[in-house]
Amino acid sequence: MLSVFDCRSQNPKNPLYQLRLHLVDKDSLFNLQPLKLQTTFASKSLCSSYIQGLPVLLGSKGYPTASVDSIFENENFTSIYLFLGKQYQWIKLMPDGIDKAAMDASRFREKDYQGKLLNIQQLVALQQRLLDHYEKSGYPFAEIFLDSIRLDDNKMDALLRAKKGPLYKIDSIRVFGKAKISKKFLRHYLDLPNGSLYNKTKLEQVSKRLLELPYLQEVQHNDITMLGTGAVLNLYLAPKRSSQANFLIGFLPNASQTGKLQLTADVNLNLKNALNNGETILLNWQQLQAKSPRLNLGYQQPYIFNSSFGFDFAFDLFKKDSTFLQVNALLGFSIFYLQTSRVKYLCSGKIVFTGEWS
């Protein structure tokens, strides 16, 4: 058994906490220095955290079977009995039967697995990138594994293989609850059209995307019903109050016509999803002075005609008795792409009349 201590002198005003290593499967000839293991810490808690991560750390240095057998602690140092095991080195890791698109997505480089120390973290990360690719490409039950593993003393070669499983598509979206919303809108908004490939990344973003809609809310987390070779996304939605409607109507004495009343009004409408298609309708009308109305209209409609295009319209009219009239208009189109991005094209115009007219 090899025991390792840090015998450097310490500052009595700020003593370091020590980790003492006892290697149960190595003798005094074993050189631990190349592993560069930490043996002094600023506190006992930092030392404990380091010990918890030791098997993973040693796994990245070619020791996949390393384990901490026992731990003894006191206020000045911790002693651990560590089984190190053999240090393994790659001969070769060869992909077998994995398509090029998946290998490109995994960023696999053959030279990283030839003559290099076995790094468990690196291998797990490679397998996870392959899984991520398949789970975004219609294969939710894909498996990545090593096959034909061959050990030659402390050297290893293996085949990297994938079992994709059945191809799955999103067949439809089902909505449960009292929310009134078009499924066509949801398919576009969530970028999950009927027949699209199962995509784990998009499905994980569903709740976040729904949270951005001001007029509905999830009452239960969404889930997936897996059928033969298709999947159904189940949404549990309730309406959320977001529209505004304010009316203020009154009468004032008419300053220009004795004995008559003048109508005054301040009307403000901001309707969200009133037609169940994710649209916004705006109306603001003010009539606070005689012959001086102000009118604002607005309309926004995403995914018109079941397409990736949206429509924007705004109109503003301001009149001051018979001496001033201003009209503004804006027309715009939006192109929605990916899941959260869009490009908007706007065209606006302005007309102003001054002077007297009847």
SS (H, E, C) the chain: CEEECCCCCCCCCCCCEEEEEEECCCCCCCCCHHHCCCCEECCHHHHHHHHHCHHHHHHCCCCCCCEEEEEEECCCEEEEEEECCCCCEEEEEEECCCCHHHHHHHCCCHHHHCCCECCHHHHHHHHHHHHHHHHCCCCCCCEEEEEEEEEECCEEEEEEEEECCCCCEEEEEEEECCCCCCHHHHHHHCCCCCCEECCHHHHHCHHHHHHCCCCEEEEEEEEEEECCCEEEEEEEEEECCCCEEEEEEEEEECCCCCCCEEEEEEEEEEEECCCCCCCEEEEEEEECCCCCEEEEEEEEECCHHHCCEEEEEEEEEEEECCCEEEEEEEEEEEEEECCCEEEEEEEEEEEEEECCCC
Q: Where a domain ends, among 134, 163, 192?
A: 163
CB 162 within 8 A of CB 138: no
Residue with tokens 């005003």: 13
Q: Which two structure tokens, joined as six digits, stand for 31? A: 């050189």
Higher local confidence (pLDDT), 142 or 333:
142
Rounded distance, CA 282 to CA 245, Å? 10
Residue 354 binned pLDDT confidence (cut-offs 50, 70, 90): low
On whether both 250 and 323 belong to a single domain, the answer is yes
On whether both 334 and 280 belong to a single domain, the answer is yes
Q: Please provide the average confidence, as pLDDT, over all residues in the chain.
A: 88
Mean local confidence (pLDDT), 177-202: 94
On whether both 20 and 75 belong to a single domain, the answer is yes
- Please, what's the b/e burial string for 80-115 (b: 16 or more CB within 10 A of its CB; e: otherwise)? bbbbbbebbbbbebebeebeeebbebbebeeeebee
On whether both 234 and 334 belong to a single domain, the answer is no
pTM above the 0.85 mark?
no
Residue 116 binned pLDDT confidence (cut-offs 50, 70, 90): very high
**Cross-strand bridge partners of residue 144:** 162
CB 208 within 8 A of CB 218: no
Q: Which residues form the domain of 178?
A: 169-239
On whether both 346 and 262 belong to a single domain, the answer is yes
Mean local confidence (pLDDT), 285-289: 81
Q: pLDDT tens across 237-275, in order? A: 999 998 888 888 877 776 666 667 777 788 899 999 999
For residue 196, what pLDDT is reported?
A: 94
Which residue type occupies 151?
A: L
On whether both 15 and 115 belong to a single domain, the answer is no
On whether both 344 and 253 belong to a single domain, the answer is yes
- Cα distances (angstroms) measured from residue 358 to each of 317, 322, 323: 18, 7, 10
For residue 180, what pLDDT is reported?
A: 93
Residue with tokens 């731990």: 71
For residue 9, what pLDDT is reported?
A: 47
Which of 188-197, 331-340, 341-350 tops mean pLDDT?
188-197
Count of structural domains, the chain: 4
On whether both 180 and 157 belong to a single domain, the answer is no
On whether both 293 and 344 belong to a single domain, the answer is yes
Which residue type occupies 109?
A: R
Whether residue 80 is predicted with pLDDT greater than 60 in this model: the reply is yes
Region of poorest pLDDT, from 65-74, 194-203, 348-357: 348-357
Q: Where a domain ends, among 239, 263, 286?
A: 239
Rounded distance, CA 53 to CA 356, Å? 84
Whether residue 3 is predicted with pLDDT greater than 90 in this model: the reply is no
C-alpha 323 chain-centroid distance? 55
Whether residue 338 is predicted with pLDDT greater than 80 in this model: the reply is no
On whether both 129 and 212 belong to a single domain, the answer is no
Residue 288 binned pLDDT confidence (cut-offs 50, 70, 90): confident
On whether both 6 and 106 belong to a single domain, the answer is no
Whether residue 331 is predicted with pLDDT greater than 70 in this model: the reply is yes
Question: Looking at residue 28, which CATH number applies to its domain?
Answer: 3.10.20
Closest CA to 232 of 207, 204, 201, 196: 196
Q: Where a domain ends, among 83, 111, 134?
A: 83
On whether both 328 and 249 belong to a single domain, the answer is yes
Q: pLDDT tens across 49-62, in order? A: 999 999 999 999 99
Residue with tokens 């002198």: 9
Question: Looking at residue 184, which CATH number applies to its domain?
Answer: 3.10.20.310
Residues 6+ apart with CB under 8 A from 73: 44, 48, 79
